[in-house]
Structure formats: structure tokens, C-alpha cells
Amino acid sequence: MNYSITIPDVAYFEGQVLCRTGCPVHTDAGGYVQAITEGRYEDAYIIARRPNPFASICGRVCAAPCEAKCRRKDIDAAVAIRALKRFVCEQCGVESGNFDLSRVYPAAQRAGQAKPGHGRKVAVVGAGPAGMACAHDLALLGFKVTVFEAQSMPGGMLTLGIPQYRLPREIIHAEIQAILNLGVEIRLNRRLGRDFSLASLTQDGFEAVFLAIGAHKSRELNIEGVELDGTFRAIDYLLNINLGYKIDLHGKVVVIGGGNVAFDVARSVVRQAGQIDDMSPEAMRKILREATTTLDQLTRGEKEGPEDLKVALDVARQALRAGVREVHMYCLESMEEMPATKAEIEEAVEEGVKLHTRWGPKRILGKDGRVTGIELIKVGSVFDQNRRFNPTFLEGTEETVAADGVVLAIGQAADLSWVRPEDNLKITPRGSIEADPETLATSRPDVFAGGDVAFGPRIIITAVAEGRRAALSIAKFLTGQKPADAVTIRTTVYNAHRMFPGYEKLPRREPPAIATDRRVGIAEVESAYAAADARRQAARCLKCHLSPVFDGDLCVLCGGCVDVCPESCLRMVDVADINGSETLAALYRARYGAPPARGEAAAIIKDETACIRCGLCAARCPTHAITMERIERLQPA
């Protein structure tokens, strides 16, 4: 007699969370995308906001690691998860006009009955994404949190590093105000090492400290000419622009760097004065033709690069917006090696940034103390045989480029000049605070550290995740117990599962963007989807969190599911032909007492990577042995 067992690919279990594992805070991307498809916008927002106090910000500027994990990209292109988050945030988030945090966190939970914090005082140093995320979670746990910020405004690099054309300031202010409304206090213009110290915080009754001061210092480039007028460090340039100071850049500007920050700087220079001068339509068309040829060489799919390299993008685009005549970007990497995202590169080129790859700076040229040009040298290789950053240059390939200004976007570092021996903090060889990546604990028991100051420049959502982990560690440190993990697993059976008609053929469409010739000043480039477009884009989701589940006791081995599968992802095999681990052997013993002999049992093998969740196998099964089920990881309310 034949028996049937179902042996799902190991990826089946990962398949339940594929669209979540890419997110450092475990946002259920599949959950809110599906809710958008069904028109349940408030549900979608709650799913997106509960694990992420900066959902509205991430909907605009997140590096979207979730999209890099999206299985739809293996068919054509990833679901536009980030843009869909922006859409639902504009419907129900802090920018919507009808935002109500009590719908995200039930009133009873926020009112604080038996909260572990009991009003104990915690100091958070730095009001960027890591610091404010930590403050948010600590406040929900009942701690009395005070945030100390060196600048005159909160937000850290959200405010001081990201240009307004990418992230409007009112969105940042609204997100932070929602956190302050939880009872968090913020003290501005208070710099660690100048206005207070770790010792004074202890004297003031703070029982724990979270350091999240960021990396606001530009790394130095030791070449001739860096002291000339007209030479700027990218982070310094962005900080001054975002603080409202005018920077004297004009004529032809060269930006050195190849990451997203470099492009941010370039695009920011574009916008400063309000229009692009002296660029004829013919010249613009030539740039775009050259760019199209170059961009075709990009590898398919998204690549997440170091956040510190993002500066050069912003500089270049800001330069053109500033009325600078020409902005040229020179970077060490080839197009395939560049850490900047494809979208950032394309937008910069569309705005007129001229991109040159495989060039490094050798010296900056000047006359009478002012920049007149830069000497560049061809790059032989960027990485060594072990894929470590170790650029080599080709002597004799030097070229000189005339320039009226040079901006260096070569990375960021933390300013740790405030650290004193009595602080008992260990510093890493690369100039960051030593901290455990999981607990965020430092060498001093009452001090925790995260974000850029501990691990180097991070993407926003990674900093948020570190702030949230720090909050849990601080709570455990102060109370002796880790806060109860209220995460639960829920399984839902869909008896009438249907995908959106034609979902497998729907192409990805980017959100609307304003015309290139209108990208001036602080005008936001991208806007949100219309509701109908958002629901169509959400309908492209393959619903990785929803999978066919097979009941071997009901299966009669008719093979109908194998025949009907449009992607040929199911097959029936003799159990004797399957080689597996001890886990598989244990499964055999549990079901049969011993491994079955040839011809005694069959298995259905499923290729998880090919399944498109059409549900035809479940619909075809005559014994209802196949059901479509969803497994959810529910965040605590």
C-alpha cells in the first residue's frame, strides 16, 4: 500500500517570511502589501508602523532591503514595497491629517499598566533614527526618557544629511513629534563633551545611557590641494545647506565619490540656486544618450551599499539645482561595482550629473589659493583578491580637469573627541565605539551604543532596528528581565484563495515624479501613487506569506496538483529516492517507524522558488488535501 508524505523545500518555511527577512525590524511587508490590494489602508498602515516608528520617512528614503529579498524580482522586477509604504502612510500616517497613534498601539498598552520601566530615567544621546527609535520603545515600556541633541533641531542625518527634495522636513518633524507625544523629553543644543558628560548624566539620576550620536565628520583625503578655497567635504556641505547656510559653488564642480551620498550631494548642488544654467537641450540629450548606454551595463537587481558613500549622489544633484553650470562625478568603481542604487544613478543622470567611472583623485590644483582644477588617475582595480577595498592606480594615465569647485564624498566618521579615560569606553581600531551587535552593550555596563557611532554609516532602517534592540537591552539591564515577547504566530486557512487576475503579467511602475526641468530648489522629486495604481502595484505581490500546505493523510496520489501547476514546481517521487539529513530521517521514523522501502511511499516535492501562489493545486485537489495557509508573525500591540 502506498502512503504519501509531503516534504516541502526548507525554503518553504523561509517562504513565509521572505518578504520580511530583508527588513531589519521585521516589517511584514507582504502583510501590508496584501492589505493595500484589498483596500484595507488602515490595517496596512498599522502593519507597517508598529515595528517602525519612522514608517513615513522610510516610505520615502529607505534603501528597501525588503525589495532585494522580494521573490517577484526573479520573474521581472521586485514589488515596489517602499513606494507602497509611502502610499499607505499618506493615507493614514503622520502626514495624512488623521493620524492616531492609539490605533497602532492600543490605549491600554500606552496608558501603561504594569509597565516594566516604572518611570526610571534613561538618557539617549542623539536624536537621529537610532536614538529616537530607542526613545520610542523605552517610552512604550514605561521609562522616563530624555533625548540630548547637539544641533538646534532633531532628526540627526535625516534632517542634516538628506536633502529636502528627497525628504521634506515636515515629515521628519511629524514623525518625531509622534514619539515626543509618548512622553519623551528632548533637549536641543546640548552637545556631549561640551554641555554634559557621561559622569554628569549619572549624577543627574540617569541609570542608563544610549549613545546614538551618528557619524557627522567627513573622512580626510590626504592629497595635495585639499586646503584650497573651493574644496568642500561632502558631509560638511550637506550639513551647511540643510542648516540654511549658502555655499559658494559655481561654474563647473567636480564631486569625488561613487555612492548614494555622493549623488545626494551632487543633486543638492543642482538645486541650491533654483535652475540649471548654460545647458543646451542638445547637450542634455547627449548626456542622457551616454547615460543610457552606461546604465545598461548595470547588473540587474538592487545592491545595498555602504550608507556613507551615499553623500556624493546628493552633492552632485544639489550642485545642479544650485545653478552650477556643470557637475561631474568621478568614482573609483565601475558601474557594476558602484554601491549607489540604480534609481539614484538614473535620477542624477536625468538631472544632468555627468558620471565618470574608474577614476581616482591624485591632487587638487589651484591658483592664488583657489581651486582651478583636479588631476585624476585611472583605476586599475578597486578590490584585491579577497574582495577587500584596496584600490590600485595606473601610472601614466593622469588627466587634468578644470573645475571651479571640488567636493570630496569619501566617507564619514564619528567624532569621539569627547571620550575620556574615566568613561571606560573601548574604541575600535576604525574609530567607533565598541558595542555588541546584538545587545548594543558597550564595555561599560550602563552604556549602550548603536547606529553610525558604533557600526559605521548605516541605512536608516538598520539604525532604527539597533535603537529598538538597545531599548530591550536597557530594559533588561534596569529591571533584570527582558520585556515579555508578545510576538505570536497565527495560521489562517484560505478556503477560497484567488490571486488578482493577470497578476503575473502586471509590470512594475515607478511612482510619479516631476519633470526634470522642474526639479529645482527643494521641490520633492517623487510623489505617491494614486489609489488605483497602488492597488495594482500591490497586486503584483506573489504572497510569499501564503503557501499551499499538503496533508499526506488525505492525499490519494492522483497527481492532479502536479498536472495543473503552471510553473511545474511540484513533482512526485519515491521516498527511497530522496537523500536528506537527520531531520528527514527523523520524519520517516515518526511517520513509519523506519525508512520506507522502494515502492512503499511517495513524496510531493515543491520548488518554493518557482511557486507563484496561484492556488490551482488546492482548487484541483479532489480530497482537499491541499489548503492555502498563511503563517503570520504578529508584532506586540
Query: Is residue 441 a part of any domain in this protein?
Result: yes
Supply the DSSP string of 190-220, one letter for each residue.
--BTTTB-HHHHHHTT--EEEE-----EEPP
How does pLDDT run across 48-101, given as a tens digit for each residue? 999 999 999 999 999 899 998 898 888 889 999 999 999 999 999 999 988 888
Do residue 455 and residue 408 come from a single domain? no
Q: What is the pLDDT of residue 247?
A: 77
Residue with cell 515543491: 606
Q: Residue 28 corresponds to which cell in the numbers above? A: 511584514
Query: Is residue 467 a part of any domain in this protein?
Result: yes
Do residue 135 and residue 50 come from a single domain? no
Dist CA 510 CA 344 (whole Å): 13
Interior angle at CA 22, CA 20 and CA 26, nearest 5: 45
Using DSSP, state whether 553 is helix, strand or coil.
Answer: coil
Q: What is the pLDDT of residue 128?
A: 95
Closest CA to 457 of 320, 332, 289, 309: 309
How does pLDDT run across 513-565, given as a tens digit for each residue? 877 666 666 667 788 999 999 999 999 998 887 888 888 889 888 999 999 99
How does pLDDT run across 136-191, given as a tens digit for each residue? 999 999 999 999 999 999 999 899 888 888 899 999 999 999 999 999 999 999 99
Do residue 285 and residue 338 come from a single domain? yes
Query: How far is CA 91 from each of CA 97, 99, 483, 614, 620, rounded to the nearest angstrom?
Result: 9, 9, 32, 29, 39
Q: What is the pLDDT of residue 15?
A: 32
CB distance 371 to 418 below 8 Å: no
Do residue 26 and residue 140 come from a single domain? no
Dist CA 568 CA 244 (whole Å): 59
Q: What is the pLDDT of residue 507?
A: 94
Query: Is residue 517 a part of any domain in this protein?
Result: no
pLDDT tier for residue 131 given thresholds of 50, 70 and 90: very high
How does pLDDT run across 335-387, given as a tens digit for each residue? 888 877 777 788 888 888 899 999 999 999 999 999 999 999 999 998 888 88
Q: What is the pLDDT of residue 287?
A: 39
Query: Is residue 301 a part of any domain in this protein?
Result: yes
**Which of 247-261, 299-313, 616-630 has the weakest average pLDDT?**
299-313
Q: What is the pLDDT of residue 517?
A: 65
Dist CA 265 CA 237 (whole Å): 8
Query: Is residue 497 a part of any domain in this protein?
Result: no
Do residue 141 and residue 249 come from a single domain? no
pTM of the model: 0.79
**Residue 174 belongs to a domain with what CATH number?**
3.50.50.60
Do residue 54 and residue 167 come from a single domain? no
387: CB partners within 8 A, 6+ apart: none
Query: Is residue 438 a part of any domain in this protein?
Result: yes
CB distance 317 to 270 below 8 Å: yes
Query: What average pLDDT does the structure give for the chain?
Result: 83
Q: What is the pLDDT of residue 321?
A: 65
Do residue 407 and residue 263 come from a single domain? yes
Q: How far out from the chain centre does Cα 469 lie?
A: 17
Q: Is the pLDDT of residue 6 over 50?
A: no
Q: Residue 436, class by beta-carbon neighbours within 10 Å (0-12 exposed, 13-18 middle, 19+ buried)?
A: middle
Residue type, 383: F
- The average pLDDT across 598-627 equals 87
**Residue 81 belongs to a domain with what CATH number?**
1.10.1060.10
Last residue of a domain, one of 479, 509, 532: 479
Q: What is the pLDDT of residue 635?
A: 59
How does pLDDT run across 451-486, given as a tens digit for each residue? 999 998 888 999 999 999 999 999 999 999 877 655
Last residue of a domain, one of 53, 68, 103: 103
Q: How many domains does the chain have?
A: 4
Do residue 90 and residue 155 come from a single domain? no
Q: What is the pLDDT of residue 279?
A: 43
Higher pLDDT, 412 or 390: 390
How does pLDDT run across 272-313, given as a tens digit for each residue? 544 334 444 454 444 334 433 333 333 233 333 334 345 666
**Residue 578 belongs to a domain with what CATH number?**
3.30.70.20
* Proportion of the chain above pLDDT 90, given as a percent: 46
Do residue 53 and residue 96 come from a single domain? yes
384: CB partners within 8 A, 6+ apart: 390
Higher pLDDT, 311 or 419: 419
Length of the chain (residues) = 637
**Which of 16-20, 91-95, 404-408, 575-579 has the weakest average pLDDT?**
16-20
Last residue of a domain, one of 463, 479, 495: 479
Query: Is residue 428 a part of any domain in this protein?
Result: yes
Do residue 252 and residue 272 come from a single domain? yes
Do residue 408 and residue 421 come from a single domain? no
Q: What is the pLDDT of residue 254?
A: 93
Q: Which domain, by its residues, includes 571?
A: 3-10+545-634
Query: Is residue 629 a part of any domain in this protein?
Result: yes
Q: What is the pLDDT of residue 278?
A: 43
Do residue 313 and residue 335 come from a single domain? yes
